[in-house]
Structure 1
């Protein structure tokens, strides 16, 4: 058996083909100091020997594993450097895996519920998943989305009590719709001194009191406590809180007050005066801590 001719060195094209990379990549490795410049032949072209090829193979393997080129260079210079690089890479991959898992869960909930409700956190979605079709308005979902962003999944789950109560009490739902329509009519054509503002604020305050009573009568707070216990057993509640506290990629976490200050509402001066008057009335009845604000 005759072996094929074994070269003592090869050109860059052959080196790239053997190691599964490209000549352009190899030139880049030279440029950044990852791979030493090899000797050149009589034709002034690079020639790569056994050691060069071994190093290229290691570079390719580590790059395929996701190790950044700068870390690979450090690893060659310091035997302990590769351990640090691998530890950082493992942490990064774990974070990416958790993100992918969360995305898969969101898609599953979306397909399961057949509505945008599935894109809210599991705690909020579970709170409302048994409502009949049409009971949850698109504006209700919008409000829950804002609540979740501002106060997190737990706060949004508490706010969901109002929508459960509205679904259970058609009379309250009708009054809610009437008030929402009247509030929307407080546009720039209405003076902040219009006496109808005080009347409407009083009606909203009375409605919120009735809604809070309905939440109590329907035992919705107790039902939420039960759901929280179930989520605590599976770790979902802890995960939801962690997600709400984490900084999103490239975006710093916000406090509740910062989030409120960044959420715009197209409120006229009359509507702002109405919200202020409503807050005064709600505070006077000592229910501001228990009834979610209607702003927005």
Structure 2
């Protein structure tokens, strides 16, 4: 007769594993002897070896008892089912490894390559990291909520970044992150933004609410940007080629609440919805 330590050693498992198999109902618990110790026989060693072999092969503990008592056909069917389950787990683990590897790529984990190129361009041009983060988060919202808009908005943003006047305005928006809400320069910035947007054509809509969510996220970054949003909403809109003149941005948003305000793809992470 064997002690629990001896039977564990013969089977190549730990004493803790033996107790675990007892609790799981895989290995019968022998009666205690007069000294209060459990004594195991050779059959316990055989059973432990079979349990360990199945466990080492990846069989879930919940299915080991089924296999221990299965006939040849049932055993083969159960093994095939377990194999399919293991293959699924392997695929999942491989996907996890790929995603973990992509973490090293930073923004590429969350955004398509063409959007990451915009962020890289902003960094290379000297915009602050805070501005780039706001831009990134806005693009994450677009990609998740209005993915069909991304290609057009990317093209529009690159075209805007090619414009020296836009770059000057956008850089001023970047600087304005650190201004106070009562900075007198905000009024002129709002007027300049509206004037610049009025000369550009409108572009495609996003899903309802996408721009509102982007806008609220962006303006939360700075009290000055919140004030700029108020000024933009009150700013009369100059005439553009469409013939729409003099309407305030707040009126225009009310009449087009389910579509993207013009110019949003140009500004994206900036403090204005377009114009």
Q: Same fold (TM over 0.5)?
A: yes
Which secondary structure state, in structure 2, belongs to the residue aligned with residue 207 of structure 1? Answer: helix
- Which residue does 1:225 correspond to in 2? none
Q: What is the distance in 2 between the residues matched to 1:139 and 1:174? A: 17
Summarize the Cα distance change of 1:30–1:126 in structure 2 as closer, same or farther, 3 Å threshold.
same
Q: What is the distance in 1 between the residues matched to 2:95 and 2:50? A: 29
> 1:288: Cα distance to partner?
1.8
Q: What is the distance in 2 between the residues matched to 1:258 and 1:53? A: 68
Q: What is the distance in 2 between the residues matched to 1:39 and 1:125? A: 69
- Which residue does 2:172 correspond to in 1? 178
Where do 1:26-105 residues align within 5 Å? Answer: 26-40=18-32, 43-73=35-65, 76=68, 79=74, 84-105=81-102
Within the alignment, does 1:164 sit opposite 2:158 as a pair?
yes
Q: What is the distance in 1 between the residues matched to 2:31 and 2:109? A: 59
Q: What is the distance in 1 between the residues matched to 2:88 and 2:233? A: 48
Within the alignment, does 1:288 sit opposite 2:261 as a pair?
yes
> 1:54: Cα distance to partner?
3.7
Is the 1:39–1:47 Cα contact (8 Å) retained in structure 2?
A: yes
Summarize the Cα distance change of 1:159–1:100 in structure 2 as closer, same or farther, 3 Å threshold.
farther
- TM-score, normalised to structure 1's length? 0.56
Within the alignment, does 1:145 sit opposite 2:136 as a pair?
yes
Q: What is the distance in 2 between the residues matched to 1:256 and 1:65? A: 50
Q: CA RMSD in A?
A: 4.7
Is the 2:119–2:135 Cα contact (8 Å) retained in structure 1?
A: no
Summarize the Cα distance change of 1:122–1:257 in structure 2 as closer, same or farther, 3 Å threshold.
closer
Q: What is the distance in 2 between the residues matched to 1:159 and 1:201? A: 22
Summarize the Cα distance change of 1:282–1:89 in structure 2 as closer, same or farther, 3 Å threshold.
farther
Is the 2:110–2:140 Cα contact (8 Å) retained in structure 1?
A: no
Q: Deviations over 1:13-62 (max 9, x none)?
A: 23322333210121122123232213555654334444433432343344
Q: What is the distance in 1 between the residues matched to 2:212 and 2:35? A: 66
Summarize the Cα distance change of 1:147–1:99 in structure 2 as closer, same or farther, 3 Å threshold.
farther
Q: What is the distance in 2 between the residues matched to 1:178 and 1:75? A: 71
Summarize the Cα distance change of 1:54–1:144 in structure 2 as closer, same or farther, 3 Å threshold.
farther
Where do 5+ consecutive residues of structure 1 fail to align? 1-8, 111-115, 222-254
Q: What is the distance in 1 between the residues matched to 2:108 and 2:133? A: 13
Where do 1:225-264 residues align within 5 Å? Answer: none
* 1:204 aligned residue (186, 190, 193): 193
Q: What is the distance in 1 between the residues matched to 2:185 and 2:24? A: 74
- TM-score, normalised to structure 2's length? 0.60
Which secondary structure state, in structure 2, belongs to the residue aligned with residue 37 of structure 1? Answer: coil
Which secondary structure state, in structure 1, belongs to the residue aligned with residue 264 of structure 2? Answer: coil
